[in-house]
Amino acid sequence: MTYAQTNLQLFGQMRQAGYGDQDLAAVRRAYDLAMRVFSSKYRGSGKPLLAHLVGTASVLVSLKAPVALISAAVLHAAYIFGDFGDARGGATEAKRATLQEAAGADVERIISRYDALQWDSSSIAEIHAMVGSMAVNPA
């Protein structure tokens, strides 16, 4: 499967997967903020960071994930790489408020949990060991 790299590809994929207008509108709100905070950010490959974020969301669409998780994927690096105009790294109350206003409190909570993850050799091994038991749509 080829995953989306642009917003139009992502929205088309969502339509094909059966997501409704409200779902697309929610992801669009997240994408609109992502365009602002990641406009000058690039990956080591030279590709825009936004393409990575959309690709991550696309993987979740292929898994029929909840729309809040898809929206969070579009913004998952906001506290790490996002430019909110304050020249400060990390999560702040102002950034949290901006994310909540644009994408909702549930999306901001997912992003905060992602931001709090420790990325080192032992935590990555622990996460990898749990992958089989993780659910995209928890009951």
How do residues 16-41 score in pLDDT, each as one tens digit? 999 999 999 999 999 999 999 999 99
Residue 73 has a pLDDT of 98
- Do the beta carbons of residue 83 and residue 75 sit within 8 Å? no
* DSSP tag of 40: T
Provide the pLDDT confidence category of residue 69 given band limits of 50, 70 and 90.
very high
* DSSP tag of 131: G
Is the pLDDT confidence value at 138 over 60? no
Q: What is the mean pLDDT of residues 93-110?
A: 97
Residue 137 has a pLDDT of 55
Q: pLDDT over 70 for what percent of the chain?
A: 96
Phi/psi of residue 48, each to 5°?
-60, 140
Is the pLDDT confidence value at 139 over 70? no
Which domains are seen in the chain, by residue range? 7-133 (1.10.3210.10)
Q: What is the mean pLDDT of residues 84-88?
A: 89
Give me the residues paired with residue 48 across strands: 42
The 3-state DSSP class for residue 62 equals helix
Helices 93-103 and 67-75: angle between axes, nearest 10 degrees: 130
Neighbour tally for 70: CB within 10 Å? 26
Tokens, residue 117: 């993850």
Phi/psi of residue 89, each to 5°?
-85, 160
First-to-last alpha carbon distance for the chain, in angstroms, is: 27
Is the pLDDT confidence value at 94 over 50? yes
